[in-house]
Every structure is written in structure tokens, then in C-alpha cells.
Amino acid sequence: MAHRHTLARQGESAPFHFETTWRVPAEAEQVWRVLSDVSSWPDWWPGMRTARMRGSGDRASLMVQSPLGYRLRFAIALLSSEPPTSAELTVDGDLRGEGSFTAHQDADGTRLTITWCVVTRRRLIGAVRPVATWAHDAVMAAGQRGLRRACERSSNRSRLPASGAAVSSKVLGGVLVLVSGGLIGGRLLRARRERAAAGQPEELPVGA
């Protein structure tokens, strides 16, 4: 997905351009459901300390813990989206710029391309670009692993109602068999006792 290049303002660093590809063994719609639940990101994305939705749900405030120890606080806002294949975002705060998510589904699952073009006013980050780039890559790699696990858990949960219903049906069927069998058996036993008391011969079932 093409994006507008972020131009640095006075006091900001030169732009950082990051492009990351994630491979997730899940359908694009499932990946979209997990990613669009921004408030759940800290549950599965190591380094994502907080994620709070704002306004009508198209904005979120994030805090990321870098492997180098510093924290980044910024807000993301949804510019446009075409579920489940693409989304464009703006970023503002310790980072400023734009980002995009593009998903392509194939036989192996979903290939997700994540692009960021951002600048920062944090002088330390701007001064150590190679190390800051390594930190970004580490956070994104952890995100890919976490997203895979989150999609797997989501898939398992979606299968539970169906399998649970099947198990419940089997159990219910077994209970019905036991109950009906008990009723029928009880009736036969009472009939035998009544015939014996009346001195009538016992009738054998057909085919006995």
C-alpha cells in the first residue's frame, strides 16, 4: 500500500521508514478480528504496555516499552480501512507520521505487511538510529509471535461451541437411552409380575 512520506519538522528526527512482514497461519478475517481489537494488544503483544480506545473507537492511546528501556507514548487514529485486507493510520505523540496494514491470504495463511513512516522529537532515539531500528524490529518480531498465538486461541474458542454442542448431544442422547430403557424395563417387569400373579404363562418376545 502506498503511503505519504512523513516530512520532518523543526526539532524532529529524520524519518524512520519501517516495513515488516508477518506470516500468520490463519485466515485474513480472523487476523483482522484480533488486530482490530486494539485494547487486547497488551494481552498478546510483548512490549505493548497499554492500549486504550478513545472517542468513537477509531482512536487509541498506546504505550510501548522498548527493549532498550525507554517508553514511547503515542496515539493512533484510523484514516481508512477495507476489512479484512487493509487499514491506514496516523500516529501522533512521541512518534508522528503514518502507518498501514495490508493483508494477503494464501494457502499458508495470511501475509501481513506493516509499514511505518515516522519521525520523533525524542533526541536519544534520533541519535541512535541503528539501535532504535533494532529495538523496533525486536518489538515487531515479538508481535508476530504473539499474534500467531492469539489467532490460535481465537480459533480454538470458535470451535468450542460446536464441539461442546456435539458432546452435549451425545451425553443427552445417552441419558435419554438410559431413561427410556429404564422405563421400558420397568414396565416389562411389572407386566411379568402381574401375569405371574394371575397365573398366566409368560409371553416370549417375537424372535426368541
Backbone angles phi, psi at 28, to 5 degrees: -60, -35
Q: Give Cα separations from 10 to 5, 14, 120, 137, 148 (angstroms).
A: 16, 10, 11, 27, 40
Which amino acid type is present at position 190? R
Q: Which CATH number fits domain 16-158: 3.80.10.10, 3.30.530.20, 1.10.460.10, 1.10.10.10?
A: 3.30.530.20
Structure letter (DSSP) for residue 201: P
Cis before 84? omega within 30: yes
Domain ranges of the chain: 16-158
Give the number of residues written for the chain. Answer: 208
- Give strand pairing partners of 204: none
Comparing 12-21, 88-97, 189-198, the range with the smallest average pLDDT is 189-198
Please give the mean pLDDT across all residues of the chain. 82
Question: Structure pTM?
Answer: 0.73
Distinct helix (H) and strand (E) counts, the chain: 4, 7
Q: Is the pLDDT of residue 14 over 80?
A: yes
What confidence tens digit (pLDDT) does each residue in 39-81 have? 999 999 999 999 999 988 899 999 999 999 999 999 999 999 9
Give the 3-state secondary structure of residue 91.
strand
- 3-state percent breakdown (helix, strand, coil) of the chain, nearest 5: 45, 30, 25
What lies within 8 Å, CB to CB, of 54 at 6+ separation is 60, 61, 75
| pLDDT digit string, tens, across residues 87-127 | 999 999 999 999 999 999 999 999 999 999 999 999 888 88
Distance CA 198, CA 157 (A): 61
